A and B are shown apart, each in its own frame.
Chain A
């Protein structure tokens, strides 16, 4: 019996390795959009729609994911109406001063259960540099060219950032696939070190070499952001620049 179990694990691993595929791509105006429903339906209100594209043009990732302590997975942060009213989470900005308030006539602006809510505003971003996947917006270039200037903090100013600009060459697990090039600089423009280190990527040299594409696709490692919010992994060449063709 234990032998069978061991063999099953091995078979399963092999099957998963052979059979991975990309999830279907949502329309550009819905890429990075979430429906938050930790307690909404239970409390008889519609789930909250949240669009990353409408927020990331004004705020870097670290504002919400460090300063405001939003988790990197939907329905994990313990957002409640009371917390929002007390100026935590969404309420840090949605206070009627920085952004629309958490008051009666505005409920349906968020609690509408519609993932594509306000897609008519998406064309406002049409002047930003283009790319071929995700929101079809090249957010990295948009920031570099100063087409957008998202804020790096909200209330508590962080000490001057660490300028760590090393570019890493990550060898691929398959012979035919050229290495991925990782730039710290393009990441620290949006994030701070502790958004990724040490939880997602430890800091010991060459100890992340075992992470594989299928783990990324399962939402681990690079996949914590890339696929759901940051550009999706279908855009192979953006990480593996020496790859020949677009699948």
Chain B
């Protein structure tokens, strides 16, 4: 009897929390933190620190599609469930990090091992580095110094960096990727905003296919290939769905409103 009374009393209290937005500002990640993924499915059971994966370094060398389609990494941290054994068999990170694959003029270091010496532990810490004081081979500030600047995210205009040839992301790995004839990309199209007087969104397939091909977004994130088939709202995007699958955590963030809402309504 008493229990029910307590619940009845507490329900309105908690309901008010459920509706409450924060009302305050969250900490915005620093440019070098933006796109950082901490992977910790099995690290602690192996007695290692979680893996810190930085998108900024990999995306300068490889397209999104290569890892998220061809290699098969999920789009959410810790959803892939990567195991050391998988890497050692040449899946996931081990697709490239196998001690054989060549990038530029050097071999890509090998990921994960069952037997290792004390000295090898340093190699583990290359990736299992979250919370460790590891001297990074690539320094963020130096790495992005010459890249065109953007206001948010990594502070880098990746699109322009690719367009101007400053970066040439690789989109094909022998034996993993499939060679396909390029598809004719659709024209840009406008998506009307739901709120009156908000500028319309101009969506460019061309800009997206450079990094993603078709299959990163279709059909899982955007079901139909017909305009208007998938219905979504800005709130869902903020929650990390639809455009937010990338544009909240890795691709330029939704804070940059005008970058999508570009077409003024008369």
Contacts and interface: CB of A to CB of B under 8 A. Distances in A.
A200 B23 contact: yes
Interface string A173-210: 00000000000000000001110001111111001101
Contact of B264 (A2, A155, A163, A200): A163
B235 interface: yes
Contacts of B19: 207, 210
Given A156-B149, A162-B198, A164-B198, A200 B6 contact: no
Given A6-B10, A155-B149, A210-B16, A202 B21 contact: yes
B204 interface: no
A188 B215 CA distance: 38
Contact of B258 (A9, A161, A210): A161
A224 interface: yes
Contacts of B234: 198, 203
A210 B28 CA distance: 26
Contacts of A211: 23
Given A162-B257, A198-B238, A210 B26 contact: no
Interface residues of B, number: 41
Given A162-B198, A166-B197, A6 B238 contact: no
B262 interface: yes
A245 B195 CA distance: 36
Given A10-B9, A203-B235, A210-B16, A71 B27 contact: yes
B152 to A, nearest CB: 8
Interface stretch (A34-42, A95-103, A213-221, A226-234): A213-221
B25 A73 contact: yes
Nearest to A65: B25
A235 interface: no
B257 A192 contact: yes
Interface in B19-53: 19-28, 30
Given A67-B151, A156-B149, A193 B257 contact: yes
Interface of A: 2-3, 5-7, 9-10, 13, 66-67, 69, 71-73, 76, 78, 86, 153, 155-156, 158-166, 192-194, 198-204, 207-208, 210-211, 215, 219-221, 224
Given A166-B197, A210-B16, 4 more contacts: A5-B6, A198-B235, A200-B23, A224-B25
Interface of B: 2-3, 5-6, 9-10, 13, 16, 19-28, 30, 141, 149-152, 195-199, 234-235, 238, 254-259, 261-262, 264
13 contacts: A2-B3, A6-B9, A10-B13, A66-B152, A66-B255, A69-B30, A156-B149, A158-B151, A158-B258, A159-B258, A159-B262, A200-B25, A221-B23
